């Protein structure tokens, strides 16, 4: 049994356990351990777990695990949180380039404390499926407009879509959206967590892009997104059906530090 130091960060209510794994001590193949640590009753608790690791040519590598213990696709809120963690460790200054599962990401700290801009992948394909949109913003997403989102059965409806035949094997994140002022209100059912989360960064990004396609918006676009855990901002450039210079902006805050033994 060894004692390990962990850190807890949150971005708009999306919370993560983070380990400094530059020494390679954390066994990334231990699915049961990751699942147990993410458990909110028997572990530390979190929507996911991240390892900050050394990698040649970049400031660090981000390795992300869903709460079910399996290594996941890109997590936007997690990406901002691990950038804040890297700065707190003294690894980076106000800007960084790091490696994640979907490639290289650039991030920048703003003058507003805790507010971080994270560059996301370019998107060139958004498929329509009935009244919904399918796209990948580093993670696969299903976007559907609804009325009365405050009382909408997000978990029940999201789970039904996530486990439907087209998505049953690999899973998909399901975002329900309603127009609100000059932006949108979004609630997300996340695969890997298998529940609604207070925020989803790649999901908020997917919603902003899908709504730009729906509304035939062109040029430089900025879209405020409200989620249960706070507010995010998505900005990008749209040319025909191609989305470039996509940035997810929002808070990333240290919550606490602790020790755990296994």
Q: How far apart are CA 246 and CA 258, in angstroms?
A: 35
Asked if pLDDT for residue 145 goes beyond 90, the answer is yes
d(Cα 236, Cα 220) in Å, to the nearest integer? 6
- Of 181, 189, 228, 229, the closest CA to residue 206 belongs to 189
Rg (alpha carbons) of the chain, rounded to whole number: 18
β-bridge mates for residue 247, sequence order? 119, 235
Predicted pLDDT at 113: 81
Computed over every residue of the chain, the mean pLDDT equals 97
Length of the chain counted residue by residue: 262
The tally of CA atoms less than 13 A away on the side-chain side of residue 137 is 34
Residues 116-142: tens digit of each pLDDT: 999 999 999 999 999 999 999 999 999
Q: Is the pLDDT of residue 245 over 90?
A: yes
pLDDT of 74: 98
- Residues identified as active-site: 75, 200
Spatial contact of 62 and 100, defined as CB atoms under 8 Å apart: yes
pLDDT band for 1, please (50, 70, 90 cuts). Answer: confident
Confidence (pTM): 0.96
Cα distances (angstroms) measured from residue 38 to each of 31, 107, 162, 190: 11, 26, 21, 15
pLDDT of residue 149: 98
pLDDT 10s digits, 20-42 = 999 999 999 999 999 999 999 99
Asked if 187 contacts 204 with a C-beta cutoff of 8 angstroms, the reply is no
Closest CA to 212 of 172, 185, 239: 239
Percent residues over pLDDT 90 in the chain: 97
In this predicted structure, the answer to whether residue 111 has a pLDDT above a threshold of 90 is no
Per the CB < 8 A criterion, the answer to whether 85 and 255 are in contact is no
pLDDT digits (tens, 9 = 90+) for 230-242: 999 999 999 998 9
For residue 99, the cross-strand partners are 61, 104
For residues 4-17, give the mean pLDDT: 98
pLDDT tens-digit readout, 48-99 = 999 999 999 999 999 999 999 999 999 999 999 999 999 999 999 999 999 9
Output the DSSP codes for 162-210: HTSTTTTTT--EEEEEEEETTEEEEEEEETTTTEEES--HHHHHHHHHH
Chain CA centroid to CA 131, Å: 24
pLDDT of residue 112: 81
Per-residue pLDDT, 220: 98
Report pLDDT for 33.
98
């Amino acid at each position: 049994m060894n004692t390990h130091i962990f850190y807890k960060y949150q971005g708009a209510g999306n919370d993560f356990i983070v380990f400094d794994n530059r020494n390679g001590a954390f066994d990334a193949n231990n699915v049961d351990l990751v699942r147990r640590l993410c458990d909110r009753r028997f572990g530390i608790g979190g929507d996911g777990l991240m390892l900050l690791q050394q990698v040649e040519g970049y400031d660090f590598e981000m390795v992300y695990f869903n709460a079910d213990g399996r290594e996941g696709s890109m997590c936007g809120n997690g990406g901002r949180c691990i950038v804040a963690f890297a700065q707190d460790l003294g690894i980076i200054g106000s800007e960084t380039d790091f490696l994640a599962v979907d490639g290289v990401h650039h991030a920048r700290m703003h003058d507003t404390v805790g507010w971080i801009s994270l560059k996301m992948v370019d998107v060139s394909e958004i498929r329509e499926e009935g009244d919904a949109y399918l796209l990948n913003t580093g993670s696969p997403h299903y976007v559907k407009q609804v009325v009365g989102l405050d009382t909408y059965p997000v978990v029940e409806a999201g789970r039904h879509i996530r486990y439907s035949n087209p998505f049953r094997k690999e899973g998909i994140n399901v975002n329900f959206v309603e127009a609100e002022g000059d932006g949108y209100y979004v609630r997300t059912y996340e695969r890997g967590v298998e529940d609604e989360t207070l925020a989803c960064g790649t999901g908020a990004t997917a919603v902003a892009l899908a709504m730009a396609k729906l509304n035939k918006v062109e040029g430089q676009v900025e879209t405020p997104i409200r989620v249960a855990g706070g507010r995010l901002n998505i900005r990008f450039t749209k040319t025909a059906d191609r989305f470039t210079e996509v940035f997810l902006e929002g808070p990333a805050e240290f919550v606490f530090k602790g020790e755990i033994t296994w």
